[in-house]
């Protein structure tokens, strides 16, 4: 095996109906790792993991970002933004039969830092007045930093070009999910997201931004699943807020989280939460990876 391995998170987004699911099914094929459709976390959702000899691509999306009906709380919107910034690569799917303004409106909503690939989908349906090459030139002028690729997810026109575009940008690094523990790792990941979601619901403003959730133990016993999770903050004062008066807040957090995890994994759950103070944890790249913050 060659030495080089690439691994990273690819966040897919686009307007409803742009063709994201069709595209993902195509990219992942049989290798789709099914994740619960119930999971709609504040941050992101893993859609599937593509692992080959030399690379692993974790496809995720940011639920609800575009749907008008989905009323985003301001702080959730900030989460969404950071999720997009954090991904290694962004794939934007735009229906080429729709005006470019729709894409512009979408891009005005989010602050994208990741390298981006714009897939102009549904070329098979395009019959506009402007010739396709001219239209592509317009997109290229509007988004000069992006790779732009016209495709049809339906007829598979140009779709073989997508993977090489991703691999060009995918960072080098070890896989995030390995071998048999993929589903287990996924479950852990989702459990930490569910706890984060409850932190969002329960606490004010800045606390959710400063708290990371790290699953320390995930043990399947015969009648229940025992989960131990650290909530990591950087300051003692944040810990006090998380705990609440006489521990009342953390108790509530435990109750809420347990309910939502039980629903997710479909088993009885024993949940233990620990609040830990680690100054500067946000500054440390390895810690961030460890806590799933690069997803
Ligand atoms: N003609 C044509 N239709 C496509 C193409 N890609 C997707 N579609 C169709 O467009 C519709 C929406 O596709 P989806 O893949 O469900 O789109 P989506 O972006 O996942 O939609 P949401 O789940 O609503 O966000 C479906 O009827 C697809 O069959 C394409 O390349 N050409």
Alpha helices in the chain (DSSP H): 20-28, 74-86, 100-109, 132-142, 162-169, 182-202, 206-210, 236-243, 248-265, 285-290
CA 58 to ligand 1 center in whole angstroms: 21
ipTM score assigned to the predicted complex = 0.96
Is 146 a residue whose pLDDT tops 90?
A: yes
Is 35 a residue whose pLDDT tops 70?
A: no
pLDDT band at residue 24 under the 50/70/90 scheme: confident
Of 99, 89, 122, nearest to 7 by C-alpha is 89
User: pLDDT of 199-229, one tens digit each?
Assistant: 888 887 678 777 888 888 888 888 999 999 9
Task: Decide: 35 and 46 in contact? Cβ < 8 Å.
Answer: yes
Domain definitions of the chain by residue range: 6-169, 179-290
Domain 179-290 has CATH 3.30.300.20: yes
CA 245 to ligand 1 center in whole angstroms: 50
185 or 242: whose pLDDT is higher?
242
CA 89 to ligand 1 center in whole angstroms: 21
Q: Which residues pair with residue 56 across a beta bridge? A: 7, 51
Give Dmax (Cα) for the chain: 68
46 lines ligand 1 (CB under 6 A): no
98 lines ligand 1 (CB under 6 A): no
What is the pLDDT averaged over residues 149-173? 95
Residue 73 has a pLDDT of 43
Ligand 1: atom nearest CA of 23 is 15
Residue 11 has a pLDDT of 87
CA 151 to ligand 1 center in whole angstroms: 12
253-260 contact pairs (CB < 8 A, 24+): 253/195, 253/198, 253/199, 253/202, 256/198, 256/201, 256/202, 257/194, 257/195, 257/198, 260/194, 260/197, 260/198
97 lines ligand 1 (CB under 6 A): no
Residue 151 has a pLDDT of 98
User: pLDDT of 80-138, one tens digit each?
Assistant: 555 555 678 999 999 999 999 989 988 877 767 789 999 999 999 999 889 999 999 99
Cα–Cα distance, 224 to 267 (Å, whole number): 6
Q: What is the DSSP string of 81-140?
A: HHHHHHSSEEEEEEETTS-HHHHHHHHHH----S-EEEEEE-GGG---SS-HHHHHHHHH
What is the pLDDT averaged over residues 255-263? 92
Mean pLDDT of the chain: 79
DSSP state, residue 185: H
Q: Which CATH architecture has domain 6-169?
A: 3-Layer(aba) Sandwich (3.40)
158 lines ligand 1 (CB under 6 A): no
Residue 238 has a pLDDT of 92
In angstroms, how far is the first alpha carbon of the chain from the final one? 27
Cα–Cα distance, 91 to 23 (Å, whole number): 11
Contacts of 65 (CB under 8 A, 6+ apart): 13, 72, 80, 109, 110
CA 25 to ligand 1 center in whole angstroms: 11
- Encoding tokens for residue 152? 């049809």
Q: Which residues are annotated as a binding site for GTP?
A: 14-21, 61-65, 121-124
pLDDT band at residue 284 under the 50/70/90 scheme: low
Is 194 a residue whose pLDDT tops 90?
A: no
Percent of the chain with pLDDT over 90: 39
pLDDT band at residue 41 under the 50/70/90 scheme: very low
Is 40 a residue whose pLDDT tops 60?
A: no
């Amino acid at each position: 095996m060659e030495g080089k391995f690439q691994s990273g998170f690819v966040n897919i987004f686009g307007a409803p109906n742009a063709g994201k699911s069709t595209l993902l099914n195509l990219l992942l094929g049989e290798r789709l790792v099914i994740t619960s459709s119930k999971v709609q976390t504040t941050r992101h959702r893993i859609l599937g993991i593509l692992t080959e000899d030399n690379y692993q691509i974790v496809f995720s999306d940011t639920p609800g970002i575009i749907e008008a009906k989905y009323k985003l709380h301001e702080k959730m919107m900030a989460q969404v933004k950071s999720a997009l910034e954090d991904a290694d690569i962004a794939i934007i799917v735009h229906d080429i039969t729709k005006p470019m303004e729709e894409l512009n409106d979408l891009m005005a909503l989010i602050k994208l830092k990741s390298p981006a690939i714009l897939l102009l989908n549904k070329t098979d349906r395009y019959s506009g007045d402007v010739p396709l090459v001219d239209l592509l030139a317009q997109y290229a002028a509007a988004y000069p930093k992006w790779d732009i690729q016209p495709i049809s997810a339906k007829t598979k026109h140009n779709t073989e070009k997508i993977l090489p575009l991703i691999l060009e940008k995918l960072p080098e690094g070890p896989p995030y999910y390995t071998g048999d523990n993929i589903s287990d790792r996924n479950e852990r990941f989702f459990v930490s997201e569910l706890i984060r979601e409850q932190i969002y619901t329960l606490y004010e403003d800045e606390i959710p931004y400063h708290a990371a959730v790290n699953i320390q133990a995930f043990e399947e016993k015969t009648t229940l699943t025992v989960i131990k999770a650290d909530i990591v903050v950087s300051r003692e004062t944040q810990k006090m807020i998380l705990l609440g008066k006489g521990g009342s807040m953390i108790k509530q957090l435990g109750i809420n989280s347990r309910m939502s995890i039980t629903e997710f994994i479909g088993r009885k759950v024993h949940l233990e939460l620990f609040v830990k103070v680690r100054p500067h944890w946000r500054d440390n790249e390895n810690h961030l990876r460890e806590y799933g913050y690069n997803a």
